[in-house]
């Protein structure tokens, strides 16, 4: 069934996935990457209301556009195809161990992950980004590892989770116009004690918890899997935590200034107008290659 949202016919995500011949995980990734455009599910009549980040629909015209593409649905599936370490290394023509070093050094980031039965993280990469990196940086595929990268790896640095968090934060902030929801995205990746030290008001903390967005659909059947999942969602390194603390403070200042009544309003829909992600999301200290970030839905 189609529903009118802001003057356009829209479909529920489940129906849209079937129309696009995508599995649930494929569809979720397609929307995160901006390959399938989504819109807020609707608004309510409460002050400060809007559509929660977790509730979105797909315009019927978007379905028609994608179905009209030459080679549909294979062309769409190819754009969102993911590969693990072994297949990615084969695409680049290098050994899996070298590919692992490149990803740990933050040369490019994963787009998805899952937790296996032993609680170990398994990272997945966009095949198109892997191929693009191989074409763009051939010198990193052969010969000696650059000295700076070698020092980083010898110190145990691993940027995979950090790169994934940075990409996901950018995607989620691109979906909302509500300043409190923007703050909630940032707060969601801070350790609880760090968030509490930045957000001193209990009412504000409660609102940010209510507005916490959906970051990933991952099966966590065991305690080990749940622990691994929570580690991915939470910033750990000192500089990353500091980066989020500073920008949460900025986001809160903006929210208090732009929507001072939001604390008294029920959490809910945000305005349909989309907010551009703040410029700090493109900080070179945060991600090594912001040019690969997809457009936001």
Q: Given this model, what pLDDT does residue 42 score?
A: 63
CA distance 99 to 156: 16
Q: Tokens standing for 244?
A: 């989020």
**Domains annotated on the chain, with CATH:** 2-74+163-292 (no CATH), 81-158 (1.10.10)
Q: Given this model, what pLDDT does residue 295 score?
A: 38
The 3-state secondary structure of 143-185 reads CCCCHHHHHHHHCCCCCHHHHHHHHHHHHHHCCCCCHHHHHHH
For the beta carbon of residue 278, count every other beta carbon within 10 angstroms: 16
What is the DSSP pairing of strand 2-5 with strand 39-40? unpaired
Tens digits of per-residue pLDDT, 206-226? 999 999 999 998 888 888 888
End-to-end Cα, the chain, rounded Å: 22
In b/e form, how buried is each residue of 38-49, taking b as 16+ CB within 10 angstroms?
bbbbbbeeeebb
Q: Given this model, what pLDDT does residue 217 score?
A: 87
Identify the CA nearest to 122 among candidates 153, 164, 171, 80: 164
Q: Given this model, what pLDDT does residue 292 score?
A: 37
Instruction: Tell me the pTM.
Output: 0.82
Tens digits of per-residue pLDDT, 279-290? 444 443 334 343
Lowest mean pLDDT among 42-56, 57-71, 208-222, 234-248: 42-56
């Amino acid at each position: 069934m189609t529903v009118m949202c802001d003057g356009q016919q829209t479909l529920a995500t489940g129906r849209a996935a079937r129309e696009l011949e995508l599995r649930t995980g494929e569809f979720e990734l397609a929307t995160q990457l901006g390959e399938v455009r989504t819109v807020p599910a609707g608004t309510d009549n409460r002050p400060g209301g809007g559509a929660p980040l977790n509730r979105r629909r797909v315009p019927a015209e978007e379905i028609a556009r994608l179905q009209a593409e030459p080679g549909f649905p294979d062309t769409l599936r190819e754009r969102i195809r993911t590969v693990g370490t072994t297949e990615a290394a084969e695409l680049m023509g290098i050994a899996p161990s070298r590919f692992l070093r490149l990803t740990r050094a933050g040369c490019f980031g994963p787009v998805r992950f899952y937790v296996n039965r032993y609680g170990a993280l398994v990272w997945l990469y966009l095949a198109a980004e892997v191929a693009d990196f191989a074409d763009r940086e051939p010198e990193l595929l052969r010969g000696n590892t650059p000295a700076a990268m070698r020092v980083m790896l010898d110190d145990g640095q691993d940027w995979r989770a950090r790169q994934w968090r940075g990409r996901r934060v950018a995607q989620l902030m691109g979906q909302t116009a509500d300043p409190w929801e923007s703050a909630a995205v940032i707060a969601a990746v801070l350790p609880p004690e760090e968030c509490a030290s930045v957000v001193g008001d209990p009412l504000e903390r409660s609102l940010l918890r209510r507005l916490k967005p959906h970051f990933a659909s991952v099966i966590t059947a065991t305690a080990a899997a749940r622990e691994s999942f929570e580690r991915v969602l939470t910033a750990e390194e000192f500089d990353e935590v500091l980066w989020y603390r500073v920008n949460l403070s900025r986001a809160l200042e903006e929210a208090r200034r732009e929507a001072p009544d939001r604390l008294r309003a029920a959490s809910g829909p945000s305005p349909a107008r989309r907010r551009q992600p703040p410029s700090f999301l493109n900080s070179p200290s945060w991600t090594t290659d912001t040019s690969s970030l997809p457009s936001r839905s």
